[in-house]
Amino acid sequence: MGAVGFSGAVLTGGRSSRMGVDKATVEVRGRPLAAYPRDALRAAGAMEVVAVGGDPAALAVLGLTVVPDAHPGQGPLGGILAALRWGRAPLVVVLACDLPAMTPEVVRRLVEACEDDVDAVVPVLEGHPQVVAAAWRRRALDAVGAAFERGCRAPRELLSRLRIRELADLPPEALVDLDHPGDLRRYDRGDPGAGQERRVQVPEIDVTVLEQRLRDGAPLIDVRQPDEYEHAHVPGAVLIPLGDVPDRVHELPRGTEVYVICRSGKRSHTAALFMLQHGIEAVNVAGGTLAWLDAGKPTVHGPDAV
């Protein structure tokens, strides 16, 4: 395996019905959840890393290009299928977005174990195969696609049709996935340990305080899409769509608070977190433009900040 490169994919297109929020971008220990498997893949030497499914603008802030999931809402096998169709290397490592303790060492173990005589290397945790933390040979694409077309959605059923190598000796903590809000809270409260990044808290204000700050000349960045902004925006708000924030963060003022708004506060939270990590004193506007409208405050229509 040594010289053979591999592609990496992070599954970010689930419905997040248990969480009630977009799991991929929810903050855990100061970072978006999907950043952890992304970093593990990159540090292990992936030729490229993409996201499968999800919000392209929000994931662009994480440096991830989104590959569409042609089968959203039909379980992880549809995402694995999309990753195998996309991958350019003969081997694709596919990780769920909710694996905050995944490490480059585990990714390398998967890659090294995926020899020519197997279709996939799948970790086993407490007797259960972890198909969303596995290395897949791209040549398995036809078999996976055919099984999916026949209605196969159960990982165990799929694996029974392929040549699989199971790894049962991987560190169990690396395979911990966060499926419920309680999982997030418990993990978030845990000791981050040596070497972990400093926790970043995103400060927030409500629209009443925002109105006062705007009177004092504070900058406001609207990270929605242009059509949303043109429909109605807060007077004085400057449009920088969420996906453009990484390339335009250098345009933002330093040494003063910068307020960030979107529709409801979710995208602006993601943008504010990114800005904080890049030295901008960003503050999220809780409730977003919807809260501004609900409070009966004035709006501007059209493409220009007025």
Q: Which residue has the tokens 């994931």?
A: 59
Query: Tens digit of pLDDT for each residue in 192-241?
Result: 332 233 345 789 999 999 999 999 999 999 999 999 999 999 999 999 99
Given this model, what pLDDT does residue 16 score? 56
Q: Which residue has the tokens 């174990």?
A: 113
Tell me, yes or no, whether 31 and 163 share the same domain.
yes
Q: Which of 162, 189, 216 is the last residue of a domain?
A: 189
Question: How many domains, in total, are found in the chain?
Answer: 2
* 299 domain-assigned: no
Report yes or no: 176 and 96 within 8 Å, Cβ to Cβ. no
CATH number at residue 51: 3.90.550.10
- Taking residues 157-176, report their average pLDDT: 89
* 1 domain-assigned: no
Q: What is the DSSP letter of 264?
A: S
Q: Which of 189, 214, 243 is the last residue of a domain?
A: 189
Tell me, yes or no, whether 239 and 169 share the same domain.
no
pLDDT band at 14 (very low <50, low <70, confident <90, very high): low
Tell me, yes or no, whether 127 and 70 share the same domain.
yes
Tell me, yes or no, whether 146 and 215 share the same domain.
no
Average pLDDT score over the chain: 87
Tell me, yes or no, whether 61 and 182 share the same domain.
yes
CATH number at residue 237: 3.40.250.10
Q: Which residue has the higher pLDDT, 109 or 187?
A: 109
- Taking residues 30-48, report their average pLDDT: 94
Query: Tens digit of pLDDT for each residue in 73-124?
Result: 777 889 999 999 999 999 999 999 999 999 999 999 999 999 999 999 999 8
Tell me, yes or no, whether 210 and 100 share the same domain.
no
* 251 domain-assigned: yes
Tell me, yes or no, whether 157 and 289 share the same domain.
no
* 195 domain-assigned: no
Q: Which of 159, 189, 219 is the last residue of a domain?
A: 189
Tell me, yes or no, whether 178 and 122 share the same domain.
yes
Given this model, what pLDDT does residue 248 score? 92
Report yes or no: 141 and 84 within 8 Å, Cβ to Cβ. yes
Query: Tens digit of pLDDT for each residue in 52-81?
Result: 999 899 899 889 999 998 888 777 889 999
User: What phi and psi values does residue 260 have, to the nearest 5 degrees?
Assistant: -125, 130
Tell me, yes or no, whether 121 and 230 share the same domain.
no
Tell me, yes or no, whether 158 and 95 share the same domain.
yes
204-to-22, 69, 111, 250, 284 alpha-carbon distances in Å:
19, 34, 42, 22, 5
Q: pTM for this one?
A: 0.65
- Helix and strand numbers (H, E) in the chain are 12, 15
Tell me, yes or no, whether 93 and 237 share the same domain.
no
Q: Which residue has the higher pLDDT, 288 or 192?
A: 288
Range of the domain at 238: 204-294
* 196 domain-assigned: no
Q: Which residue has the higher pLDDT, 274 or 163?
A: 163
* 233 domain-assigned: yes
Given this model, what pLDDT does residue 80 score? 94
